[in-house]
Amino acid sequence: MSKTNIRSDFPILATSSRGKPLTYLDNAATTQKPQCVIDKIGDYYATFNANVHRAAHEMAEKATAELERTRESCAKFLNAKSTNEIIFTKGTTESINLVANSVPLFSEKRRNIVISELEHHSNIVPWHLVAERHNLRVAAIGISDDGELDLNQARSLINDDTALVAITHVSNGLGVVNDVKAICRMAREHGALCLVDGAQSALHFPINVEDIDCDFFVFSGHKLFGPTGIGVLWGRIELLEKMTPWQGGGEMIEKVSITSSTYQQPPFKFEAGTPNIAGAVGLGAALKYLEQIDRDSLGKAQDSLVKNTTERLADMPGIKLIGNPNKRSAIISFLVENSHPNDIGTLLDQQGIALRAGHHCNMPLMDRLGIPGTVRASFSLYNDDSDGDRLISGLEKAQTFL
Amino acid sequence: MELAEIKESFEFFDDWEDKYRFILEIGKDLPDMDDDYRIEKNLIRGCQSQVWLVYAIEDNKLRFQIDSDAHIVRGLLKILLVAINNLSPSEIIETDLETLFEELGLMAHLSMSRGNGLRAMIGKINQIAENGAS
Ligand SMILES: Cc1ncc(COP(=O)(O)O)c(C=O)c1O
């Protein structure tokens, strides 16, 4: 039977912060780790630490097998056709940079890259860098005041001039869930490539890259109970085969002479150097853990906690919700009257409530909304009503300071 | 307000609440900066909230005006100003501002992930003082 009570699996949630019981509501930044993930990483270093894909000894075989098993789990997790479509990276940011640097966009006449106003800086800046290098234009799909993408505008921005569309599945600033399927369809209709940033979605909904019909899907291990420093780029094999490697080094080559080298097939072509083996092993444990828990009912409990907390915040005097999505993920952004988001962040921190205040690496979004930032509470599957209650009472206390 | 008064007040605080109420209260004394000065050029880099700083040197005394859009930061700035305003550049260089904030138990604001940028402000002030002294 799968687990429906998981809080006690996360040792950090029983600790305290500033002398108060920890209330962890910064899950969009990173999630906490269950004991099984922590143990697995320790186990790797204590019992089978070895480099992968090279040595001919037992531990190396075990380490390689574990790393490759994680690749299989990732393929399954995303409903990818082949494990060769799974490339290990440091995380979402590196995955996007890899695509930006490797995709053969620029041999064609297409001059536009389309993003949106909701993007995280890591889905903006890599495109600026390539745009500068290849003299391309970056254009952004705008949003309504509620934070919803303007699909009509998307329809006109995405055209035969578009090389690639890069769009987030869930906005880390506002919690808006985007209709990425619709956006990918528009890209497809015009022969453009489409990348979906799954950093904030991969934990919260089942991901099916075939159904989304994107060309690339990226996510970070640390946002779904895995360790930091490991993430995934999924790409269609036909594209990966055509792409040139971004980084060169060991492991990614077939043959090297002094003057030239030939590369391995994907995924190895894109994995130069010793990979983050401990990270991959830990990510494997996190994905296994996700299979063991009852994601469906935990997700429903989380959704009702988020909905309930959103309603309570909306009813509180002096609180203004930022963003009002039709479909909200586990993120709530708001402002408190007469204060800067950082003031609230500090006053909540003093009460043991960990959340984030600021622009959340969403400067274009904050500019669009005309605000310096927000206070952001972000939930995960282990949060419960006590966390929602502490947030509300912590805010009530903070308001007495202003 | 004198620095000695601030230090004395801090000695009587039992908990974070008293401390932050005080910081927010003294922040209100900080004069608002003219909109003309609240411009990009006067922003201090490395602060999460916006902090503007302008200064003038007169009779070998540095006079600062600092402002922020965040209230807690304004309180911290007020303490900073009480400590250094109207001192000569060399007197400012001799003032150990980091130790002052440590003594007040506000180190968290110095080290916290560039948090409120106090370290950036202190750095900027010392840089101005050094330029003024040379
Ligand atoms: C939507 C989104 N994209 C990208 C990132 C970057 O992820 P990472 O820092 O793990 O590379 C984040 C993380 O905050 C995010 O929320």
pLDDT band at A321 (very low <50, low <70, confident <90, very high): very high
Per-residue pLDDT, B98? 86
Task: Cite the DSSP H helix spans in B3-117.
Answer: 3-11, 16-27, 71-84, 89-94, 97-103, 107-111
Question: In this model, does residue A231 exceed pLDDT 70?
Answer: yes
Out of A122, A355, A363, give the residue to mutate to test ligand 1, the one with the largest number of ligand atoms within 8 Å of its CB: A122
* B27 Cα: distance to centroid of ligand 1 (angstroms): 35
Average model confidence (pLDDT) across chain B: 87
Q: Which of A83-87, A207-211, B85-89 has the lowest mean pLDDT?
A: B85-89
Q: What is the distance between the alpha carbons of residues A93 and A101, in angstroms, rounded to a whole number?
A: 12
Continuous segment of H or E residues that includes residue A241? helix A237-242
Is the model's pLDDT at B105 over the cut of 90? no
Percent of chain A with pLDDT over 70: 99
Average pLDDT, integer, range A365-374: 94
Distances (CA, A) of B126 to A78, B7, B92: 53, 22, 7
Mean pLDDT of A246-271: 90
Q: What range defines the domain where residue B51 resides?
A: 3-133
Highest mean pLDDT (candidates A281-290, B44-53, B58-67, B98-107): A281-290
- Report whether residue A332 contacts ligand 1, using a CB cutoff of 6 Å: no
* Count: domains in chain B: 1
* Residue B17, pLDDT score: 94
State pLDDT tens for residues A169-198.
999 999 999 999 999 999 999 999 999 999
pLDDT value at residue B107 = 72
Whether B112 shows a pLDDT value over 70: the answer reads no
Please tell me the predicted confidence (pLDDT) of residue A341.
Answer: 94
Nearest CA in chain A to B23: A401
Percentage of chain B exceeding pLDDT 90: 57
Quick check: CB of A122 below 6 Å from ligand 1? Answer: yes
pLDDT tens column, A63-115: 999 999 999 999 999 999 999 999 999 999 999 999 999 997 666 689 999 99
Q: CATH top-level class for A38-291?
A: alpha beta
DSSP state of A372: S
Is any atom of ligand 1 closer than 6 Å to the C-beta of A176?
no
Tokens found for residue A2: 């799968």
- CA dist A246 and A102 (Å) reads 6
CB spacing of B71 vs A339 below 8 angstroms: yes
The H-or-E segment that residue A166 falls in is: strand A162-168
At residue B110 the predicted structure's pLDDT band, cuts being 50, 70 and 90, is low
Per-residue pLDDT at B83 exceeds 80: yes
- Reported as a pLDDT band with limits 50, 70 and 90, residue A242 is very high
Report domain A7-25+294-400's class.
alpha beta
Q: What is the location of CATH 3.90.1150.10 in chain A?
A: 7-25+294-400
Domain of B76: which CATH number? 3.90.1010.10
What is the pLDDT, as a whole number, of residue B109?
Answer: 65
For residue B21, give the nearest of A343, A372, A401 by CB distance.
A401
